Structure 1
Amino acid sequence: MNKFLLSVHVLAAIIAIGPVTVAASMFPPYVRKAVAEPGDQKVTAALALLHRICRGYAAVGIVVPVFGVATAIGLGVLTDAWLIASMILTAAAAAVLLGRILPVQEALLAPEGDTAVRQSRHLGMTVGVFNLLWAVVVVLMIVRPGSTTGV
């Protein structure tokens, strides 16, 4: 059963988190392009699509921690420090996505002027933090400091 839970956890992370990190990273440059080329319907459509991808996969992403916790319980590592750190970082990443990235994307779906360019730069930095949080979680999941199976 643990192998099944772990497989679903890893697949869900790849399928749900991967697209969000890519789409969120692509959004700020498209905002700047939309400001530079006002009225370009392809750029406007791309912004809407990128936001829908982020919003949709954020909802699907709940599967990742659910199956992660189930796996941790099955493996008896729920109280290990590396896992607790991973859960805290995952919660932080979710908070950044839900509390900052998605609302700012929503506000920038029809960008205009220098304010939108500034917001897109701040959004880009926020997305960088979001992606860094996930990168650290992945490293912790692979290395598992202090575990008997860690490298």
Structure 2
Amino acid sequence: MTKFLLSVHVLAAIIAVGPVTVAASMFPAATRRALAAPGQEREVAVLRTLHRVCRVYAAIGIAVPAFGLATGSSLGVLGDPWLVVSMALTALAAATLVLLILPRQAEVLDAVAAADHPVPARLPARLAMHTGVFNLLWATVTVLMVVRPGSTTGA
């Protein structure tokens, strides 16, 4: 059962977190292109698509910590420091996505789609910064999952 849970956890991480990471990373550059060419419906469509990918895969991403907790419980490592840190970083990454990235993407999308509502000058740069933090958090969690410092399961 542990191998099944771990397999689903890893697959969920690849399938759910990967698209969010890529789409969120592409959004600031697409925002800059949309701002440089106001009224371009194609650029607005790109932003809508990227934002939708982020929203949908963020919801699907709930499976990652759910199966991660089940796997950790099955392995008996829920109290191990590397896993506790990973869970905290995962929660921080989720909060960054839900509280910082998605609302700002929606704000940009609304402003660009309205074409008469200005986008604050710093918003694309801040969105890029938040996305970078999100990606760094997930990279750190991935390293912790592979290295497992202090784990009794071996690395």
**Class of the TM-score when normalised by the shorter of the 2 chains:** over 0.9
How many angstroms does 1:114 deviate by?
7.3
Mapped partners of 2:143, 2:85: distance in 1: 11
How many angstroms does 1:39 deviate by?
1.0
Q: Compute the TM-score of the two structures, normalised by the length of structure 2.
A: 0.93
Equivalences for residues 8-87 of structure 1 within 5 A: 8-87=8-87
Q: Unpaired runs of 5+ in structure 2?
A: none
Measured against aligned partners, the alpha-carbon deviations of 1:45-82 in whole angstroms (never above 9, x if no partner) come to 00000000000000000000000000000000000000
Q: Is the 8 A contact 2:93 2:137 kept in 1?
A: yes
Paired position in structure 2 for 1:105: 105
Paired position in structure 1 for 2:134: 130
C-alpha RMSD of the superposition: 1.4
Paired position in structure 2 for 1:140: 144
Mapped partners of 2:62, 2:70: distance in 1: 13
How many angstroms does 1:146 deviate by?
0.7
Paired position in structure 2 for 1:120: 124
- Aligned AA for 1:17? V
Measured against aligned partners, the alpha-carbon deviations of 1:56-114 in whole angstroms (never above 9, x if no partner) come to 00000000000000000000000000000000000000000000000000000033687
Q: Unpaired runs of 5+ in structure 1?
A: none
How many angstroms does 1:44 deviate by?
0.6
How many angstroms does 1:148 deviate by?
3.7
Choose 141-150 or 118-127, whichever is displaced more: 141-150
Residue aligned with 1:3, SS: helix
How many angstroms does 1:18 deviate by?
0.3
How many angstroms does 1:3 deviate by?
0.3
Mapped partners of 1:55, 1:38: distance in 2: 24
Residue aligned with 2:122, SS: helix
- Aligned AA for 1:120? P
Mapped partners of 2:129, 2:145: distance in 1: 24
How many angstroms does 1:128 deviate by?
0.2
- Aligned AA for 2:134? F
How many angstroms does 1:115 deviate by?
4.1
Q: Compute the TM-score of the two structures, normalised by the length of structure 1.
A: 0.95
Q: Is the 8 A contact 2:17 2:58 kept in 1?
A: yes
Q: Is the 8 A contact 1:142 1:150 kept in 2?
A: no
How many angstroms does 1:41 deviate by?
1.1
Runs of 4+ in 1 over 3 A off after TM superposition: 112-117, 148-151
Mapped partners of 1:15, 1:85: distance in 2: 22
